[in-house]
Amino acid sequence: DSGVTQTPKHLITATGQRVTLRCSPRSGDLSVYWYQQSLDQGLQFLIQYYNGEERAKGNILERFSAQQFPDLHSELNLSSLELGDSALYFCASSATGYNQPQHFGDGTRLSIL
Amino acid sequence: AQKITQTQPGMFVQEKEAVTLDCTYDTSDPSYGLFWYKQPSSGEMIFLIYQGSYDQQNATEGRYSLNFQKARKSANLVISASQLGDSAMYFCAMREGRNTGNQFYFGTGTSLTVIP
């Protein structure tokens, strides 16, 4: 158990819809990261938050947005969903410092029909 | 330039043999950390091993060891005595010290198949 909790585990929805993915980081971790992994693909970095503030942005579409709340949990909002958004979405958290690993949640598997 | 390069899309190894998965990195930061993750077919990402840029010795964790060659900027993962359960995708990652965001950079991964 990594200590990172992601909900829901599975999500099935239709094109054009909006969904929210939720992540609770490990206790004490201030950084939260979101990744997208399409079928048989690598990890695509989306966005990072540190203690409530956006720290780094990757290839995140304008239709996607995220935030980190005062209790450090984070949400990833995906809107106007397209078939190509079907993927495994990971949340990870880490402590501060370059020697600290990321710990991943189990992911949310999003299927767009 | 790519921060992390994994040049082996797929690797095969006989059960009980050792295998080396390659990883090279690019950074000008003297302080950095290198990480390896395993992703089995079930999908979860599992942290395996860490090597710091100032570490004098290669990191080891059970059957996993890291062949760290700083001058060549390589951090290869060595899995000894391969088991069927080692079949998975393996990702190399780096985190820089001076990067205020402490962003992680991942390679594209290597798919390892252990043959009985």
pLDDT at A74: 98
Residue B16 has pLDDT above 90, yes or no: yes
Separation CA A33–CA A6 (nearest Å): 12
Q: pLDDT, tens digit, for every residue of B26-78?
A: 999 999 999 999 999 999 999 999 999 999 999 999 999 999 999 999 999 99
Whether B102 and A97 lie within 8 Å, measured CB to CB: yes
Distances (CA, A) of A81 to A10, A45, A68, B4, B113: 15, 18, 22, 31, 35
Q: pLDDT, tens digit, for every residue of B96-111?
A: 887 656 778 999 999 9
- Radius of gyration (Cα) for chain B, nearest Å? 14
Nearest to A98 among B44, B96, B108 (CB): B96
- Where does residue B5 fall: left (phi above 0), alpha (psi -120 to 50 degrees), or beta otherwise? beta
Contact list in A for residue B95 (CB cut-off 8 A) is 98-100
Selection from B52, B60, B6 nearest residue B29 by Cα: B52
Separation CA B24–CA B20 (nearest Å): 13
Whether B95 and A98 lie within 8 Å, measured CB to CB: yes
Structure tokens at A95: 């402590």
Average pLDDT value for residue range B11-18? 97
